[in-house]
Copies of this chain bind each other. A is one copy, B any other.
């Protein structure tokens, strides 16, 4: 029943909400979906009429429980499709997003279940983003950014890399920094450049804009350093 557009709005609002919290403004949504503010105003009004979000004029919107469920269903389909493309059709992590963005609105529940089963209930998509299970319980463990989690000399495992900016993603994949790989922070400069050593011994200089998009878990022995939130594109 919901259209592609409706699902894309819900997904976008969900993402913004979990990164920056409600209320989500018209312009934030417009920015995320590349639509004009006027268009967004009109759409959030219909979403509000359908009970998917609550809205306060000139303030912003917030998903209702129903809206959040609907959003999570889309996110689940999106990530499952991404995982599927990477696993079964040999897509690169960089190629997976656009295809999934179209397909996410058109696969049946049946399809979703079967994909999930064939992949043996994967926990994360190729970017490391957690895949909500069928009951939509959502851990959504974001992890902490490189600099937040790891002091120079410390080592950790990449949990997730943001898929938001294709160029950043490309950069990271080229550097061999992908989910599950091990990295050690060698150095952090005052202007934000982070030098890391990957498991194969190579060193890479990551500009701040890139380093901030890498989320890691510290290599055991010390508890979770938290904070450094950011919800991903999917």
Contact = CB atoms under 8 A, between A and B. Distances in A.
Interface of A: 85, 88-91, 95, 98-99, 102-103, 105-108, 110-111, 114-115, 118
B95 A102 contact: no
Copy total for this chain:
2
B115 A89 contact: yes
B110 A95 contact: yes
B108 A99 contact: yes
Contacts of A102: 106-108
A103 B99 contact: no
A107 to B, nearest CB: 7
A34 B88 CA distance: 36
Contact of A114 (B90, B98, B103, B106): B90
Contacts of A115: 89
A115 B88 CA distance: 9
Given A91-B114, A114-B89, A114-B90, A106 B108 contact: no
A89 B111 contact: yes
Nearest to A108: B99
Contacts of A105: 106
A81 to B, nearest CB: 10
Nearest to A104: B106
Contacts of A118: 88-90
